[in-house]
Structures are given as C-alpha cells and as structure tokens.
C-alpha cells in the first residue's frame, strides 16, 4: 500500500471515530505534512483520495472539511415528508451528537455566533460578581463540606424566594433546591417523576436540553404540536393522554426556546388543570423568566399549581452569569426526592458562586441591570427581524419573540437547514439547524438565530450572506 493510501486510511479512521466531526476542518496540508512526517505532495494525494471516497471536501481558501455521508443525508430527506403525515408517536431521542457538533463549531471556527444558545457574556456584570467571589475566597481559607450540602446556601435561597414573592408568586424557601444550572434542575426533576422506558410529553419544537434529559435517562419523547403564540396544543395533549400513559410533561411557557412566545395565563391554567386531572407532573423550564419585553414579569405554571405537581426549574445563567452555573428547582410534592437525587448525583453545588451571587443580589442593582438587558434584547429582536425580512427570500416567516434572545425562522419548504448550516459554516457563520429541536424531521427547513450580541457590520454581512445562500438553494 502506498504511503498516501495509508495516510488516507488513518484520517478516515479518525473521522469514523469522531475525532473530526461533520462540518469540522481537518488538518491543513502543511500541518498534516508536519504531523505525519510526509511530503506535501503525499498529503495532497491522500486528501484527493478522501474526497473521492466522500469523506472530506475542499472549500476554496478555507481548507478541507469533513462532509456528511450522502446516504445519511438522503435518508433524512426522504423521511421528512413521511413523518409529517404520521400521528404523534413516542420516539427514542438522538439529537445530542448534532447539538454537540454545532456547539463545537461555534467555538472552533471563531464564527459569527448566530447559532449560539448562549447570551453575550459582555452583558453580564461579571467583574462585580468576581469581586465578590474573590473577597469570599480571601475570607474563607477552607470550606466545610457540610455547608455545601443540599438544599444550598441559605442566603441565596432567601434571595431567590424574595424575587418570586415580589413578582406575585409567593414561594416557601424550604421548597428551593440549588442546582448546577437549570440543566441539572431539569434532569433531577425528570428523574424524580419518571423511570427509564417512560414516555414524556414535550413541545414541538422544543429546546434540545429537554430532549437530552429524556435521552440520558433512557425515556421516550412524544412531541405535541406547539402554537407560535399560544403554546403547547392542550387539546392534542389531552388526546394523547387518553391514548397512552404519560409520565410527565416538560414545557417552557415563558419565552420558549426556540419560538419565543409567552403562553397566555388562561392557557397556563388550563394546562395545569389538565395535567392535575390525570395526576401528571409538569416540569416547567423558566430560565428566561427575567428577560421579558412587557411591563411585568409573566406568571408561571407554579402559580396555578394547587397540588404540588409543578416542578419549576430556573437559573441565573441567562440573566446574570452563565459561567457560575447556578440554578434551582422548586419541585412541589417531589421536593425531598429531588434533594436526595441532588445529593446522590453531584453531592453539592460549589459554595463560592452561590455566596457571590447572593451578595450581588443583596447589595447591587440587579433590577437596574435587567432593565438594561431587556431594552437591549427588545431592540435587537426588532433589528434582527427587520434584517431577516430584508435579506431572505419570499416565503420566509419569522417568530414574534416576547422575551429572551432567539428568533425562529421558517424558510421555504425546499430548504434543508443542515445543508444551509454547512454552507454557512464554510463562510464563518453559525446557525441553529431545525433538526436539533425535534426527534423527527418536522423542522428540516427551520433555523434558530441568536440576537443577543451587539449589532455590527459583520453581523449584517452574515445575515445578508445567509439570505443569499437560502435564495440560491430555493
């Protein structure tokens, strides 16, 4: 076997093992020559062979990238129309690999982060919070592990309860369990109410962290159609409940990711009453609760819960500090179980971040900070919406977010969002392909865009390029 064939086999094996993911760039020709101690000519022969095998593709002035296998892409495309015609069925979840690849590409390619799920950290008062953390670390040479045990730091819990109470949701501090972000709160809540093999109802589209939690615990997701302004289809959910056993329902009633709606109060109450009638717990993801565009903080499912069946989850990651990963659960009747699972899963949540955030909430202008962030996001939402309407072809439709920082875009039906994702990435732009928000292919022609970052000439150029790519694919 010739040396270039051996090199091609080595690189193809690395791709198959996932060392290089779909859409990721492999070693440059010069770097590969140095890494494998071969001539540049040998590398070029090897890469040409890999291109002929369909493993990689050349992109002018960008390098060589791993391409998606044609048979895999074709299978998904062929199945898309078929799944649209089928009734809702429970399905095993497998979106984590796509999500992880997308997140890696955002960081690895230094791209315009329109596909990022995270808010711009420049908006956070991280310097002030770090000052509190450093002062705490100097005051306490060591921590007693007992102080870190669940449910969490008492002062932080008091501050969380105070904010809910001031906004019209009386909360018993004894119900709050501090977690490592909302993701852990969601996972613990789901683990407390359902078992492997159980079926969990979710919105469609839904935030992929919900699907990750279901996948990790070996459960099955059943998708319920979700209206872009009214929220989950309660009537369809009732029909599903009548046909089969549902262990839990996971929803984001406020500023749902990716649709951005605020579910009307009457619909929230109706949903809670339906689930209560069947003794089905509701896991409420409310991480965007502070990022509303209206005059007042919206109501929660928790406010309509009379039986302790709502497990409310939230965090400071979207509004105050993503790096500290501090969240909480208010699990109702499942509070003791969630606290026990917290102890068994991660034992504690680090103390210094808890105390630093508690000090910030007690002494600094959190509400002033939030007013500034809300104004900025509201302006950004209008600007992003206007630019999409300006640059994208006829047939494009957009959501009307009432809070948060993401825009859901429906492209002409012929567009495949994964094809667009790869084409955009080659031009230094990331997007959130619709495939990530469902266990099926219902949203193959949708994308999610992040507008939390300041508007720049680069951002506008990226939107213009995206529009041109969509037009070329239509």
Kindly state the tokens that stand for 382. Answer: 């209008």
Nearest to 371 by CA among 287, 291, 451: 291
Query: CA 23 to CA 356: how far, in whole Å?
Result: 40
pLDDT band at 41 (very low <50, low <70, confident <90, very high): confident
Q: Residue 406 belongs to what H/E stretch?
A: strand 406-410
Enumerate domains of the chain plus CATH numbers. 3-66 (1.10.10.10), 77-86+93-122+369-473 (3.90.1150.10), 124-365 (3.40.640.10)
Pseudo-torsion of CA 465, 467, 472, 474, nearest 10°? Answer: 160
CA distance 128 to 360: 8
**Closest-CA residue to 351 (of 181, 176, 160, 137):** 137
Q: In terms of Cα–Cα distance, which of 232, 239, 246, 152 is closest to 199?
A: 246
**DSSP-derived secondary structure for 52-79:** HHTSEEEETTTEEEEPPPHHHHHHHHHH
pLDDT-derived band of residue 70, with 50, 70 and 90 as boundaries? very low
In tens, the pLDDT along 271-300 reads 999 999 999 999 999 999 999 999 999 999
Of 243, 266, 240, nearest to 253 by C-alpha is 266
Paired strand residues for 406: 450
What does the DSSP assignment read for 258-322?
A: TT--B--HHHHHHHHHHHHHTT--EEEE-TTTT-BSSSSPPP-GGGG-SSS-EEEEEESTTTT-T
**pLDDT (tens digit, 9 = 90+) per residue, 71-118?**
333 333 333 333 333 446 665 545 667 677 666 666 555 689 999 999
The answer, yes or no, to whether residue 442 has pLDDT greater than 60, is yes
Q: What is the pLDDT of residue 142?
A: 55
Residue 331 or residue 100, greater confidence: 331
pLDDT at 24: 86
Q: pLDDT for 217-263, tens place per residue?
A: 999 999 999 999 999 999 999 999 999 999 999 999 999 999 999 99
Average pLDDT value over all residues in the chain: 88
Asked whether the predicted pLDDT for residue 265 surpasses 90, the reply is: yes
Predicted local confidence at residue 69, as pLDDT: 55
**At a CB cut-off of 8 Å and minimum separation 6, what does 65 contact?**
23, 24, 25, 26, 56, 57, 59, 422, 426
Look at residue 190 and give its three-state secondary structure.
Answer: helix
* Residue 177: pLDDT band with limits 50, 70, 90: very high
The first and second tokens of residue 202, run together, are 């979710």
Strands 310-315 and 282-285: parallel
- Could you tell me how many residues make up the chain? 474
Question: Does an H or E element contain 220, and which?
Answer: strand 220-227
The pLDDT of residue 77 is: 33
56 has which bridge partners?
66
For 194, phi then psi, to 5°, come to -140, 165
Give the pairing of strands 63-66 and 220-227: unpaired
Q: Six-digit token pair at 394? A: 């006829």
Cβ atoms of residues 407 and 398 within 8 Å: yes
Cα–Cα distance, 317 to 325 (Å, whole number): 6
Q: What percent of the chain is modeled with pLDDT above 70? A: 89
Residue 254 tokens read as 């406020």
**Residue with the larger pLDDT of the pair 430 and 92:** 430
How many angstroms separate the CA atoms of 114 and 128, rounded?
28
Give dist(CA 359, CA 135) in Å, integer: 11
Least confident of 169-173, 194-198, 377-381, 447-451: 169-173
231-232, strands of its sheet edge to edge: 177-180, 326-330, 310-315, 282-285, 248-251, 199-204, 220-227, 231-232
Give 301-326 pLDDT, tens digit per residue. 999 999 999 999 999 999 998 888 99
In 3D, which of 252, 217, 16, 208 has the Cα closest to residue 95? 208
Residue 95 pLDDT: 65
Virtual torsion, Cα 134, 138, 144, 149, nearest 10 deg: -20
Q: What is the pLDDT of residue 13?
A: 82
């Amino acid at each position: 076997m010739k040396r270039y064939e051996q090199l091609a086999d080595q690189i193809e094996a690395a791709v198959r093992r996932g060392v290089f993911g779909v859409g990721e760039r492999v070693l440059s020709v010069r770097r590969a020559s140095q890494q494998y101690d071969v001539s540049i000519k040998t590398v070029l022969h090897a890469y040409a062979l890999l291109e002929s095998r369909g493993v990689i593709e050349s992109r002018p002035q960008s390098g060589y990238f791993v391409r998606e296998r044609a048979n895999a892409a074709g299978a998904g495309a062929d199945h898309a129309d078929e799944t649209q015609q089928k009734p809702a069925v429970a399905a095993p979840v497998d979106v984590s690999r796509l999500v992880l690849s997308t997140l890696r590409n955002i960081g690895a390619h230094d791209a315009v982060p329109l596909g990022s799920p995270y808010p711009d950290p420049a908006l956070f008062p991280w310097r002030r919070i770090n000052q509190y953390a450093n002062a705490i670390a100097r005051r306490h040479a060591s921590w007693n592990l007992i102080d870190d045990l669940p449910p969490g730091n008492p002062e932080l819990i008091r501050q969380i309860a105070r904010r809910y109470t001031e906004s019209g949701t009386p909360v018993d501090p004894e119900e709050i369990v501090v977690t490592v972000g909302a993701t852990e709160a969601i996972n613990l809540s789901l683990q407390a109410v359902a078992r492997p093999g159980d079926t969990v109802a979710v919105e469609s589209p839904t935030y992929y962290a919900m699907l990750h939690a279901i996948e990790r615990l070996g459960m099955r997701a059943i998708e319920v159609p979700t209206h872009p302004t009214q929220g989950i289809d309660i009537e369809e959910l009732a029909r599903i409940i009548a046909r089969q056993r549902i262990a839990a329902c996971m929803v984001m009633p406020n500023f749902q990711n990716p649709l951005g709606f605020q579910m009307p109060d009457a619909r929230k109450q109706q949903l809670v009453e339906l689930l209560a009638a069947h003794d089905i717990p509701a896991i409420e993801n409310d991480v965007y609760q502070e990022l509303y565009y209206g005059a007042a903080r919206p109501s929660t499912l928790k406010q309509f819960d009379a039986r302790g069946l709502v497990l409310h989850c939230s965090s400071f990651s979207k509004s105050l500090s993503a790096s500290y990963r501090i969240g909480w659960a208010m699990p109702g009747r499942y509070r003791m179980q969630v606290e026990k699972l917290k102890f068994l899963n991660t034992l504690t949540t680090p103390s210094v971040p808890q105390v630093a955030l508690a000090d910030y909430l007690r002494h600094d202008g959190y509400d002033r900070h939030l007013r500034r962030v809300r104004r900025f996001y509201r302006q950004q939402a209008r600007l992003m919406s206007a630019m999409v309407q300006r640059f994208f072809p006829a047939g494009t439709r957009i959501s009307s977010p009432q809070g948060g920082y993401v825009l859901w875009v429906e492209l002409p039906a012929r567009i495949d969002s994964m094809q667009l994702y790869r084409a955009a990435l080659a031009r230094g732009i990331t997007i959130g392909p619709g495939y990530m928000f469902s266990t099926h292919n219902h949203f193959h022609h949708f994308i999610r865009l992040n507008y939390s970052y300041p508007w720049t000439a680069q951002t506008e150029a990226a939107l213009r390029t995206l529009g041109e790519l969509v037009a070329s694919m239509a």
